[in-house]
Amino acid sequence: MAKQRFALLGSGFIGQVHAASIARHPGTELAMVADIDHGRAEALASQYGARAVAVAHAINSDAIDAVLIASATPSHAELLEAAARAGKAVYCEKPIDLSLSRAREVVEKVLPLNVPITVGFNRRFDQSHQQLRRQVEQGVIGNLELIQMVCRASEMPPVSYLRSSGGQMRDQAIHFFDLLRFLTADEVHTVAAMGAALALPEIAEFGDVDTSVLMMRMRSGALAQLDNTRRTGHGYDERINLMGPEGVLESGSQSPQGATLWRGNQRIQPGLWGDWFSRVQDTYYRHLDAFVRHLAGESVPDLPGLLDGLQAQAIAEAAVTSLQTGQFVAVEQLA
Protein backbone atom coordinates (compact mmCIF):
# COMPACT_ATOMS: atom_id res chain seq x y z
CA MET A 1 0.00 0.00 0.00
CA ALA A 2 1.29 3.49 -0.85
CA LYS A 3 2.38 5.74 1.97
CA GLN A 4 0.13 8.56 3.14
CA ARG A 5 1.85 11.80 2.08
CA PHE A 6 1.54 14.38 4.86
CA ALA A 7 1.84 18.14 4.88
CA LEU A 8 2.66 19.49 8.32
CA LEU A 9 1.29 22.96 9.11
CA GLY A 10 3.27 24.46 11.98
CA SER A 11 6.88 23.80 12.89
CA GLY A 12 6.99 24.82 16.55
CA PHE A 13 7.46 22.37 19.41
CA ILE A 14 4.37 20.24 18.73
CA GLY A 15 4.98 20.46 15.01
CA GLN A 16 8.44 19.02 15.57
CA VAL A 17 6.95 16.20 17.66
CA HIS A 18 4.54 15.32 14.86
CA ALA A 19 7.26 15.59 12.21
CA ALA A 20 9.29 12.97 14.05
CA SER A 21 6.25 10.67 14.28
CA ILE A 22 5.42 11.01 10.58
CA ALA A 23 9.03 10.37 9.59
CA ARG A 24 9.19 7.31 11.87
CA HIS A 25 5.96 5.66 10.73
CA PRO A 26 6.35 3.08 7.92
CA GLY A 27 3.02 4.08 6.38
CA THR A 28 3.61 7.83 6.13
CA GLU A 29 5.86 10.31 4.41
CA LEU A 30 6.53 13.85 5.53
CA ALA A 31 6.36 15.56 2.14
CA MET A 32 5.84 19.24 2.99
CA VAL A 33 6.18 21.63 5.93
CA ALA A 34 4.53 25.04 6.08
CA ASP A 35 4.78 27.79 8.67
CA ILE A 36 4.31 31.56 8.75
CA ASP A 37 7.99 31.56 9.73
CA HIS A 38 9.36 30.15 6.47
CA GLY A 39 12.88 29.85 7.84
CA ARG A 40 11.69 27.64 10.66
CA ALA A 41 9.72 25.53 8.18
CA GLU A 42 12.82 25.13 6.03
CA ALA A 43 14.91 24.05 9.02
CA LEU A 44 12.40 21.34 10.02
CA ALA A 45 11.77 20.18 6.46
CA SER A 46 15.48 19.75 5.82
CA GLN A 47 15.76 17.30 8.73
CA TYR A 48 13.40 14.85 7.02
CA GLY A 49 13.92 15.43 3.31
CA ALA A 50 10.65 17.36 2.97
CA ARG A 51 9.93 20.63 1.16
CA ALA A 52 9.13 23.91 2.87
CA VAL A 53 6.16 25.49 1.11
CA ALA A 54 3.42 28.07 1.59
CA VAL A 55 0.37 26.95 3.59
CA ALA A 56 -2.04 27.26 0.65
CA HIS A 57 0.27 25.19 -1.54
CA ALA A 58 0.49 22.43 1.06
CA ILE A 59 -3.29 22.25 1.49
CA ASN A 60 -4.15 22.23 -2.20
CA SER A 61 -1.30 20.16 -3.62
CA ASP A 62 -2.16 16.94 -5.45
CA ALA A 63 1.05 15.53 -3.98
CA ILE A 64 -0.51 15.54 -0.49
CA ASP A 65 -2.98 13.03 0.95
CA ALA A 66 -3.27 14.31 4.53
CA VAL A 67 -2.69 17.50 6.48
CA LEU A 68 -1.53 17.65 10.09
CA ILE A 69 -2.42 20.97 11.73
CA ALA A 70 0.02 21.86 14.50
CA SER A 71 0.00 25.62 14.07
CA ALA A 72 -1.04 28.23 16.64
CA THR A 73 -4.51 27.56 18.06
CA PRO A 74 -6.21 30.63 16.53
CA SER A 75 -5.43 29.24 13.06
CA HIS A 76 -6.84 25.73 13.59
CA ALA A 77 -10.43 26.34 12.47
CA GLU A 78 -9.55 28.12 9.25
CA LEU A 79 -6.92 25.56 8.26
CA LEU A 80 -9.18 22.64 9.18
CA GLU A 81 -11.96 23.93 6.97
CA ALA A 82 -9.60 24.68 4.08
CA ALA A 83 -7.94 21.26 4.22
CA ALA A 84 -11.27 19.45 4.41
CA ARG A 85 -12.64 21.41 1.43
CA ALA A 86 -9.51 20.41 -0.48
CA GLY A 87 -10.44 16.77 0.17
CA LYS A 88 -7.52 16.04 2.47
CA ALA A 89 -7.59 13.80 5.51
CA VAL A 90 -6.90 15.96 8.57
CA TYR A 91 -5.22 15.47 11.93
CA CYS A 92 -5.93 18.69 13.86
CA GLU A 93 -4.38 19.55 17.19
CA LYS A 94 -6.83 20.52 19.92
CA PRO A 95 -8.79 22.67 20.42
CA ILE A 96 -10.60 23.22 17.13
CA ASP A 97 -10.83 26.92 18.00
CA LEU A 98 -10.69 29.05 21.14
CA SER A 99 -14.31 30.02 20.49
CA LEU A 100 -16.87 27.26 20.96
CA SER A 101 -19.29 28.93 18.55
CA ARG A 102 -16.60 29.15 15.89
CA ALA A 103 -15.62 25.52 16.48
CA ARG A 104 -19.26 24.47 16.15
CA GLU A 105 -19.61 26.47 12.92
CA VAL A 106 -16.57 24.77 11.38
CA VAL A 107 -17.70 21.31 12.43
CA GLU A 108 -21.12 21.89 10.87
CA LYS A 109 -19.45 22.87 7.60
CA VAL A 110 -16.86 20.10 7.57
CA LEU A 111 -18.85 17.04 8.70
CA PRO A 112 -20.91 16.82 5.46
CA LEU A 113 -17.68 16.69 3.44
CA ASN A 114 -17.04 13.17 4.79
CA VAL A 115 -13.27 13.47 4.88
CA PRO A 116 -11.36 11.54 7.59
CA ILE A 117 -10.58 13.86 10.52
CA THR A 118 -9.12 13.28 13.96
CA VAL A 119 -8.60 15.77 16.80
CA GLY A 120 -5.40 15.63 18.85
CA PHE A 121 -6.46 13.97 22.08
CA ASN A 122 -3.37 11.79 22.25
CA ARG A 123 -3.95 10.81 25.89
CA ARG A 124 -6.49 8.26 24.65
CA PHE A 125 -3.54 6.26 23.35
CA ASP A 126 -1.78 5.90 26.70
CA GLN A 127 -1.56 2.14 27.20
CA SER A 128 -2.60 2.16 30.85
CA HIS A 129 -5.57 4.46 30.16
CA GLN A 130 -6.63 2.18 27.31
CA GLN A 131 -6.52 -0.79 29.66
CA LEU A 132 -8.94 1.04 31.95
CA ARG A 133 -11.31 1.58 29.01
CA ARG A 134 -11.29 -2.11 28.11
CA GLN A 135 -11.89 -3.20 31.70
CA VAL A 136 -14.77 -0.75 32.09
CA GLU A 137 -16.29 -2.10 28.88
CA GLN A 138 -15.96 -5.63 30.27
CA GLY A 139 -17.86 -4.61 33.41
CA VAL A 140 -14.98 -5.59 35.71
CA ILE A 141 -16.07 -3.16 38.47
CA GLY A 142 -19.72 -2.69 37.52
CA ASN A 143 -21.34 0.65 36.76
CA LEU A 144 -19.06 3.58 37.49
CA GLU A 145 -19.90 5.65 40.54
CA LEU A 146 -16.86 7.82 41.28
CA ILE A 147 -14.06 9.00 38.98
CA GLN A 148 -10.98 10.84 40.23
CA MET A 149 -8.45 12.34 37.83
CA VAL A 150 -5.17 14.16 38.45
CA CYS A 151 -3.16 16.23 35.97
CA ARG A 152 -0.20 17.96 37.59
CA ALA A 153 2.37 19.30 35.16
CA SER A 154 5.90 19.70 36.41
CA GLU A 155 6.84 23.10 34.97
CA MET A 156 5.02 26.30 34.09
CA PRO A 157 4.87 27.06 30.34
CA PRO A 158 6.17 30.48 29.28
CA VAL A 159 3.81 33.40 29.89
CA SER A 160 3.92 34.13 26.15
CA TYR A 161 2.40 30.70 25.54
CA LEU A 162 -0.18 31.03 28.30
CA ARG A 163 -1.45 34.35 26.94
CA SER A 164 -2.60 32.69 23.72
CA SER A 165 -3.40 29.20 25.04
CA GLY A 166 -7.04 29.87 25.89
CA GLY A 167 -6.46 29.18 29.58
CA GLN A 168 -6.02 26.08 31.71
CA MET A 169 -9.48 24.66 30.97
CA ARG A 170 -9.10 24.82 27.17
CA ASP A 171 -5.40 23.94 27.08
CA GLN A 172 -4.62 21.47 29.87
CA ALA A 173 -7.83 20.19 31.42
CA ILE A 174 -9.48 19.60 28.03
CA HIS A 175 -7.40 16.43 27.58
CA PHE A 176 -9.01 15.04 30.71
CA PHE A 177 -12.49 16.15 29.73
CA ASP A 178 -11.99 14.00 26.65
CA LEU A 179 -10.51 11.13 28.68
CA LEU A 180 -13.49 11.28 31.03
CA ARG A 181 -15.89 10.82 28.10
CA PHE A 182 -13.65 8.17 26.53
CA LEU A 183 -13.26 6.07 29.68
CA THR A 184 -16.85 6.24 30.85
CA ALA A 185 -18.75 6.26 27.52
CA ASP A 186 -20.82 8.90 29.30
CA GLU A 187 -21.36 12.65 29.07
CA VAL A 188 -20.72 15.42 31.59
CA HIS A 189 -24.03 16.99 32.62
CA THR A 190 -22.89 19.74 34.99
CA VAL A 191 -19.54 21.11 36.12
CA ALA A 192 -18.28 23.30 38.95
CA ALA A 193 -14.76 24.72 38.95
CA MET A 194 -12.60 26.55 41.44
CA GLY A 195 -9.21 27.95 40.45
CA ALA A 196 -6.41 30.32 41.37
CA ALA A 197 -3.12 31.64 40.03
CA LEU A 198 -0.85 30.33 42.78
CA ALA A 199 2.29 29.28 40.92
CA LEU A 200 2.42 32.38 38.71
CA PRO A 201 0.12 35.12 40.06
CA GLU A 202 0.67 37.41 37.08
CA ILE A 203 -1.44 35.20 34.79
CA ALA A 204 -4.51 36.32 36.73
CA GLU A 205 -4.12 39.63 34.84
CA PHE A 206 -5.48 37.91 31.71
CA GLY A 207 -8.02 35.75 33.52
CA ASP A 208 -6.07 32.49 33.71
CA VAL A 209 -5.42 30.08 36.59
CA ASP A 210 -2.64 27.55 37.15
CA THR A 211 -4.27 25.52 39.93
CA SER A 212 -7.84 24.22 39.78
CA VAL A 213 -10.28 21.66 41.13
CA LEU A 214 -13.38 20.58 39.21
CA MET A 215 -16.44 18.58 40.19
CA MET A 216 -18.61 17.04 37.49
CA ARG A 217 -21.86 15.10 37.46
CA MET A 218 -22.19 12.62 34.63
CA ARG A 219 -25.43 11.97 32.78
CA SER A 220 -25.56 8.52 34.43
CA GLY A 221 -25.39 10.12 37.87
CA ALA A 222 -21.75 9.19 38.50
CA LEU A 223 -19.55 11.85 40.08
CA ALA A 224 -16.14 12.91 38.78
CA GLN A 225 -13.35 15.07 40.16
CA LEU A 226 -10.33 16.54 38.37
CA ASP A 227 -7.49 18.56 39.82
CA ASN A 228 -4.96 20.40 37.66
CA THR A 229 -1.76 22.22 38.37
CA ARG A 230 0.71 23.81 36.00
CA ARG A 231 3.71 23.32 38.32
CA THR A 232 4.86 20.70 40.83
CA GLY A 233 8.05 20.09 42.77
CA HIS A 234 8.00 16.32 42.26
CA GLY A 235 7.68 15.67 38.52
CA TYR A 236 4.81 15.02 36.12
CA ASP A 237 1.88 13.43 37.95
CA GLU A 238 -1.02 11.93 35.96
CA ARG A 239 -3.51 9.57 37.61
CA ILE A 240 -6.99 8.20 36.94
CA ASN A 241 -9.06 6.24 39.45
CA LEU A 242 -12.42 4.66 38.60
CA MET A 243 -14.65 3.19 41.31
CA GLY A 244 -17.66 0.93 40.93
CA PRO A 245 -19.57 -1.40 43.27
CA GLU A 246 -17.26 -4.32 42.43
CA GLY A 247 -13.90 -2.59 42.88
CA VAL A 248 -11.50 0.11 41.70
CA LEU A 249 -9.50 0.52 38.50
CA GLU A 250 -6.46 2.77 38.51
CA SER A 251 -4.00 4.13 35.98
CA GLY A 252 -1.42 5.49 38.38
CA SER A 253 1.51 7.85 38.33
CA GLN A 254 4.43 6.39 36.45
CA SER A 255 8.18 6.35 36.84
CA PRO A 256 10.83 5.99 34.13
CA GLN A 257 12.58 3.47 36.38
CA GLY A 258 11.20 0.62 38.41
CA ALA A 259 13.88 -0.13 40.99
CA THR A 260 13.49 0.64 44.70
CA LEU A 261 16.58 0.95 46.89
CA TRP A 262 16.51 -0.35 50.46
CA ARG A 263 19.46 0.86 52.53
CA GLY A 264 19.64 0.85 56.32
CA ASN A 265 16.34 2.19 57.64
CA GLN A 266 15.51 3.98 54.38
CA ARG A 267 13.51 2.96 51.34
CA ILE A 268 14.28 5.10 48.28
CA GLN A 269 11.79 4.75 45.45
CA PRO A 270 12.10 6.05 41.89
CA GLY A 271 10.48 9.42 41.20
CA LEU A 272 8.04 10.43 38.50
CA TRP A 273 8.78 11.46 34.94
CA GLY A 274 10.48 14.84 35.08
CA ASP A 275 8.14 16.50 32.59
CA TRP A 276 4.81 15.90 30.83
CA PHE A 277 6.32 15.26 27.41
CA SER A 278 8.56 12.43 28.59
CA ARG A 279 5.48 10.75 30.07
CA VAL A 280 3.21 11.09 27.02
CA GLN A 281 5.64 11.26 24.09
CA ASP A 282 4.78 7.86 22.66
CA THR A 283 1.04 8.62 22.66
CA TYR A 284 1.56 11.06 19.77
CA TYR A 285 2.97 8.26 17.63
CA ARG A 286 0.22 5.86 18.71
CA HIS A 287 -2.43 8.41 17.75
CA LEU A 288 -0.84 8.92 14.34
CA ASP A 289 -0.66 5.16 13.85
CA ALA A 290 -4.36 4.81 14.70
CA PHE A 291 -5.22 7.54 12.17
CA VAL A 292 -3.14 5.89 9.45
CA ARG A 293 -4.83 2.55 10.12
CA HIS A 294 -8.18 4.32 9.89
CA LEU A 295 -7.17 5.80 6.52
CA ALA A 296 -6.32 2.28 5.37
CA GLY A 297 -9.88 1.18 6.13
CA GLU A 298 -9.42 -0.34 9.57
CA SER A 299 -12.08 0.28 12.22
CA VAL A 300 -10.42 2.24 15.05
CA PRO A 301 -13.07 2.93 17.72
CA ASP A 302 -10.70 4.87 20.00
CA LEU A 303 -9.96 7.51 17.37
CA PRO A 304 -11.23 10.94 18.54
CA GLY A 305 -13.22 12.76 15.88
CA LEU A 306 -14.67 16.22 15.33
CA LEU A 307 -17.64 15.69 17.62
CA ASP A 308 -15.32 14.48 20.38
CA GLY A 309 -13.30 17.64 19.98
CA LEU A 310 -16.45 19.75 20.08
CA GLN A 311 -17.90 18.08 23.18
CA ALA A 312 -14.65 18.27 25.16
CA GLN A 313 -14.53 21.96 24.33
CA ALA A 314 -18.13 22.40 25.50
CA ILE A 315 -17.07 20.99 28.89
CA ALA A 316 -14.11 23.39 28.93
CA GLU A 317 -16.39 26.35 28.18
CA ALA A 318 -18.75 25.37 31.00
CA ALA A 319 -15.76 25.07 33.33
CA VAL A 320 -14.56 28.56 32.36
CA THR A 321 -18.02 29.96 33.07
CA SER A 322 -18.06 28.20 36.44
CA LEU A 323 -14.64 29.67 37.31
CA GLN A 324 -16.03 33.12 36.57
CA THR A 325 -19.37 32.75 38.35
CA GLY A 326 -18.71 30.27 41.14
CA GLN A 327 -21.79 28.31 40.08
CA PHE A 328 -22.56 24.84 38.76
CA VAL A 329 -22.93 25.14 34.98
CA ALA A 330 -24.82 22.83 32.65
CA VAL A 331 -22.73 21.49 29.78
CA GLU A 332 -24.11 22.00 26.29
CA GLN A 333 -24.57 18.63 24.58
CA LEU A 334 -23.12 18.88 21.07
CA ALA A 335 -21.78 15.44 20.22
3-state helix, strand, coil in the chain (%, to 5): 40, 25, 35
Query: How would residue 328 be classed by pLDDT, with cut points 50, 70 and 90?
Result: very high
pLDDT at 279: 79
Query: How would residue 318 be classed by pLDDT, with cut points 50, 70 and 90?
Result: very high
pLDDT(257) > 70: no
Residues 297-323: what's their mean pLDDT? Answer: 97
Cis amide leading into 95 (omega within 30):
yes
The runs of H, that is alpha helices, within the chain are 13-24, 38-47, 55-60, 76-85, 100-110, 127-137, 159-164, 168, 174-184, 276-295, 306-325
User: Residue 184 contacts by C-beta under 8 Å, 6 or more apart in sequence?
Assistant: 136, 144, 147, 218, 220, 222, 224, 242
Q: For each of the domains in the chain, give its residue range(s) and CATH number, in order of start.
A: 4-115 (3.40.50.720), 125-276+305-330 (3.30.360.10)
pLDDT at 259: 65
What mean pLDDT is reported for the chain?
A: 94
Residues 249-273: what's their mean pLDDT? Answer: 74
pLDDT at 228: 97
pTM: 0.92
pLDDT(270) > 70: no
Distance CA 113, CA 276 (A): 35
Query: How would residue 258 be classed by pLDDT, with cut points 50, 70 and 90?
Result: low
pLDDT(260) > 80: no
pLDDT at 276: 74
Distance CA 138, CA 171 (A): 32
pLDDT at 278: 80
Q: Percentage of the chain surpassing pLDDT 90?
A: 88
Distance CA 17, CA 30 (A): 12
pLDDT at 124: 97
pLDDT at 112: 97
184-232 tens-digit pLDDT? 999 999 999 999 999 999 999 999 999 999 999 999 999 999 999 999 9
pLDDT at 101: 96
Does the CA dihedral 298-89-64-12 come out positive or negative?
A: negative
48-81 tens-digit pLDDT? 999 999 999 999 999 999 999 999 999 999 999 9
Residues 265-269: what's their mean pLDDT? Answer: 76
107-151 tens-digit pLDDT? 999 999 999 999 999 999 999 999 999 999 999 999 999 999 999
Query: How would residue 282 be classed by pLDDT, with cut points 50, 70 and 90?
Result: very high
Distance CA 247, CA 267 (A): 29
pLDDT at 256: 74
pLDDT at 110: 97
Query: How would residue 47 be classed by pLDDT, with cut points 50, 70 and 90?
Result: very high
pLDDT at 203: 97
